[in-house]
Amino acid sequence: MAIKRKTKQLPLVPVSSMADIAFILLIFFILTSAVDMEKSIPVDLPLSEISTTTSGGYFHVWLSREGGLFINGAPISADDLISTAKYRAAANPRVKGMIGADREVGFSRINTVMEMLRDSGVFNIVLLTRKKENADN
């Protein structure tokens, strides 16, 4: 009578679900990093007593105190701003260009960006401000 030896089975880790988990984590990190981009731009908006909100069909143009120009949180050149604005205006003629400029930025620079947007076909332009907490400030 021959004695059979048991062959040692190697433990198996199910890897099919690991790819799904990795994909979900990748999507999560991409989305959360895109949200944090606008918060990291050093722009101190001026104060305003009137506050309204807008929804849909817009893009943000940020002007930093140091001279940086950003669209939706990403640094961009003036030529790229014009081409992006033309693309957005062609896709949606009612698109809003929302300009957020640091309070130390001169109006001539803000006006230059407004003219660039208008020349690109973006005619709905909004200047962003922060709401005053008290009327005394």
Whether the per-residue pLDDT at 22 is higher than 80: the answer is yes
Give the pLDDT band of residue 6 (cuts 50, 70, 90). Answer: confident
pLDDT exceeds 60 at position 11: yes
Percent of the chain clearing pLDDT 70 (strictly above):
79
Q: Is the pLDDT score of 46 beyond 70?
A: no
| CATH class, range 38-131 | alpha beta
- Using DSSP's 3-state secondary structure scheme, residue 126 falls into strand
Task: Give the pLDDT of residue 121.
Answer: 92
> Residue 21's pLDDT band (boundaries 50, 70, 90)?
confident
Reported as a pLDDT band with limits 50, 70 and 90, residue 131 is confident
This model's pTM is above 0.85: no
pLDDT at residue number 34: 56
Q: Is 57 helix (H, G, I), strand (E, B) or coil?
A: coil
Average pLDDT over residues 79-107: 90
Sketch the domain layout of the chain as residue ranges. 38-131
Residue predicted with more confidence, 51 or 125: 125
Q: In which band, very low, low, confident or very high, does the pLDDT at 77 lie, cut at 50, 70 and 90?
A: very high
